[in-house]
Amino acid sequence: MAALEKATGDVVFKFEPFVLHVLCRELQDAQLLHSVAVDSGFKNSGITVGRGGKIMMAVRSTHCLEVPLSHMGKLMVSEEYIEFLLHVANQKMEEN
């Protein structure tokens, strides 16, 4: 909390979703992995084929969180709310 109180700009609490990139030899391999990922709850997953024929499968979670905490040096939330955000982010990490 002391660091937040000393901040002079904007502070944002951010939790990024899980992302796993897998280079696949064959398109069929990527399609199979994509099906497994989507069926497992990773709804933002996708397949990309590059110019050189490189097949990349990205397994992406939807668990993200971005919350402003301060604006122009003024803390906009309570310490209790920050503890709540930490709890929520830790739950999302477990789900990942």
Residues 7 and 22 in one domain: no
Q: Domains in the chain: how many in total?
A: 2
pLDDT of residue 8: 81
Question: Does residue 29 sit in the same domain as residue 46?
Answer: yes
Question: Which stretches of 1-96 are DSSP H helices?
Answer: 2-6, 27-39, 79-95
pLDDT given at position 56: 97
- Whether residue 57 is found in the same domain as residue 68: no
For each successive 10 residues of the chain (96 residues), what is the average pLDDT?
77 92 96 96 94 94 91 90 95 86
27 and 10 in one domain?
A: no
Query: pLDDT at position 89, please?
Result: 94
What pLDDT sits at residue 13? 94
Q: Looking at the structure, do residues 23 and 58 belong to the same domain, yes or no?
A: yes
- 73 Ramachandran zone, left/alpha/beta (phi>0; psi -120 to 50): left
Q: Are residues 38 and 49 in the same domain?
A: yes
The CA-based angle 77-81-86, given to 5 degrees, is 125
Place of tokens 């109180």: 5
Dist. CA 25–CA 20, nearest whole Å: 16
The label of the residue with tokens 């999302």 reads: 92
For 39, the domain range is 18-62
Please tell me the predicted confidence (pLDDT) of residue 96. Answer: 76
